[in-house]
Amino acid sequence: MDERSAFICLNLISGVGPLKAERLISYFGSAAKIFRQSMQTLLSVDGIGRKLAAAIAKGPQDCNPQEEDLLAVQAGVKIITRVCPEYPQLLLNIPDPPLVLYVRGQLDVLQKGNSTVAVVGSRRPTNYGVGMASSLSTSAAAARWVVISGLALGIDSAAHRATLEANGQTIAVLGSGLARLYPQENIELARTICEKGAVISEFPMNYPPDRRSFPMRNRIISGMSSGTIVVEAGLKSGTLITANQALEQGRTVFAVPGRADFPHSRACHSLIRDGAVLIESFADVLEEFNNTSLFDLSIKDKNHASNDKKSDSLAPQGLQLTETEEKILMFLSQGDAAVDTIVEELGTGVGMVFATLIEMETKRLVKPLPGKRYTALKTLR
């Protein structure tokens, strides 16, 4: 059995898990060597009891990596393991990285490194929560960041959909096998995600969702992300598990404040009290990572063309504005407006408008509102 097949086989054996697998690999030198050992030798590894040793010893007979590979191929799914170059490097840095990832969609989206952010929250959000998740995800997509979430109803779905509508890339991490997609209501959303992003799982193809699988799924969401944004969650929600896992993994946690008297605000407010970064827009995320130059240079150059002298005299508080920024600020000084309305007013592409709005957020010139609307924070003199 080769190393890749050995990883798949280990992942198919109930009770092994990433931590015990790592212990076995460290002890014997490779995943493939594990299946060459006798049951008695396996028992010498700390934490490996008789029942699990017996299951591992019988693994090559009871588990069939080739059959699992065939099932994946038939479903258009690629199986990558820790030894594959496509495996996300950021995920390898967590204490218990998955042995295997089942991926349907674009493999390149797994290699976005530090330009990844998780957006998670309640399955029963308010309109405010949905609006904030959508606004943050739209802005992240405009900044060329990959949005990662769990495909659940509520905030997760809003984040995925807003990213796709903004022509961005998103990754959905499942708490079930890809052949047992959950929730069923999001099958069409999952198919759309695969066109530009990916749907992934660490569980075998036919693994059903259960109470254990979702907390395991959550550590992947946070582990693949530079930071985790929490939008509305109760104090006992799975979202809080994701935030705590992000902290344990050494990742930044962001929280969106809500109404003080609303139960779904409590997790966010608790996180903020404990040191999470309070955010009102994606510009706050960019500022935290000191990363405000994430746009295509050709877009920025086009915006800046032949306007430097003019910008000096018109910009509030001495800020230097591009022609597009001036037009947007002038338009928003009449009142807040939807992105589509701004695009229509300027007569330019939606991509350029989104990119410009994000840059204006970092300059504290505009602020996003629910419903993909923007308002001016400063006006031209």
Which are the contacts of 298, defined by CB distance < 8 A and separation ≥ 6? none
Nearest C-alpha neighbor of 30 from the set 4, 12, 55:
4
- With a threshold of 0.85, does the pTM exceed it? no
- The answer, yes or no, to whether residue 306 has pLDDT greater than 60, is no
CA distance 6 to 66: 11
Q: Which residue has the higher pLDDT, 302 or 282?
A: 282
Q: Per-residue pLDDT tens for 62-116?
A: 888 999 999 999 999 999 999 899 999 999 999 999 999 999 999 999 998 789 9
pLDDT at 299: 32
Block residue for tokens 């930071």: 227
Q: Are 52 and 9 in contact (CB under 8 A)?
A: no
Domains in the chain: ranges and CATH: 1-63 (1.10.150.20), 104-288 (3.40.50.450), 297-376 (1.10.10.10)
pLDDT at 310: 39
pLDDT at 371: 75
pLDDT range class, residue 309, cuts 50, 70, 90: very low
Let me know if 287 is exposed, middle or buried by CB neighbors in 10 A (0-12, 13-18, 19+): middle
- Mean per-residue pLDDT of the chain: 88
CA distance 241 to 302: 44
CA distance 351 to 180: 36
